[in-house]
Amino acid sequence: MKHFEYEINLMVENELPPDKKEKLLLHLAVCKKCRNTLLDYSEIKSNIIGFYNTLPENTKIRLPLTNKIRFSRKVLTPGALIPVSIAASIILAALVFIKPGIHLQKISSFPLAKNETAIGRINKLENFAFHKNRRGSKSIRKKKREIVVDYNNILVFNNVINQAIYLKAKNSLSSGLLSSGKNYDGENFNKVINSVLYNCYNN
């Protein structure tokens, strides 16, 4: 008797045309070997799903100051451990003793997109500070310092999106590229940024 392993695989993957599926089902009714094959392929499918479900979740917060620098194993060579540990101590001391300020001076190299406006950038920036809930009203994120913290002019972001959006907005506006719409010059922009950050700190 001819067996249909390839077609059975297609059926499990929902890729078998209906007419062929009908014929295959008739065959399966009389062929034990093919029924076992069907069970095996179904099991493989569920095993693959199970395997990927066991991957640890992508825990957030693991961001360096810039996109390209990562404190990974590649950076932490034995020779680099001493300066790194000194730097870590300084940062730790800063975290303990320095009150977060609102002087944001980090400039990045994210250019302004072609059809983007100053208002668009500001809206984006505000979108990561505020959640719009399903009813459309805005609510401030619950956790303090979830978005960005400025420790003595060092910015620490909780995820790469927030970092990138902030830096894009900051750079575009401070470079004077965005002057249409409202008059967001550098100083005004900093006020907007700072008010967003202030809300993050205090709510």
Partner 1 sequence: MEKEIENISSTELYEEYSEDILRYSFSILRNYEEARDIVQEVFIHHLENEESFKGQCSYKTWLFVITRNLCLSRRRSKSFNNERIEEHSVKKSYTDTFDINISMRDALKRISKESSELLYLKEYEGYSYAEISEITKLSVENIAVKLFRAKKFLRKYLKDFKDE
**How many Å is the Cα radius of gyration of the chain?**
27
62 binds partner 1 (CB under 8 A): yes
d(CA 146, CA 143): 5
Closest by CA position to 45, among listed 15, 90, 17, 65? 15
Residue among 25, 88, 161, 191 that touches partner 1 (CB under 8 A): 161
Would you call 199 helix, strand, or coil by DSSP? helix
Q: Which is nearer to partner 1, 18 or 56 (CB)?
A: 56
Q: Binding segment for partner 1 among 21-29, 78-86, 163-171, 192-200 (CB under 8 A)? A: 163-171
Residue among 1, 18, 32, 52 that touches partner 1 (CB under 8 A): 52
Q: Which is nearer to partner 1, 57 or 187 (CB)?
A: 57
Q: Which is nearer to partner 1, 114 or 142 (CB)?
A: 114
Structure tokens given for 172: 């575009």
Q: Which of residues 139-158 bind partner 1 (CB under 8 A)?
A: none
Closest by CA position to 196, among listed 162, 154, 173? 162
The CB density around residue 77, as the number of other CB atoms within 10 Å, is 9
Residue among 18, 19, 29, 54 that touches partner 1 (CB under 8 A): 54
Residues 97-100: contacts with CB under 8 Å, at least 24 apart: 98/151, 98/152, 100/145, 100/149, 100/150, 100/151, 100/201
Site string for partner 1, 164-183 (x = CB under 8 A): xx--x---------------
Amino acid in position 74: K
Q: Binding segment for partner 1 among 61-69, 96-104, 182-190, 195-203 (CB under 8 A)? A: 61-69
Handedness of CA 156, 203, 92, 190 (dihedral sign): positive
Site string for partner 1, 83-122 (x = CB under 8 A): ---------------------------x--xxxx------
Q: Which is nearer to partner 1, 28 or 95 (CB)?
A: 28
Q: How far is CA 70 from CA 13, 74, 146, in A?
A: 40, 9, 20
List interacting residues with partner 1 (CB under 8 A): 5-6, 9-10, 13-15, 40-41, 43-45, 47-52, 54-58, 62-63, 67, 70, 72, 74, 110, 113-116, 124, 127-128, 159-162, 164-165, 168
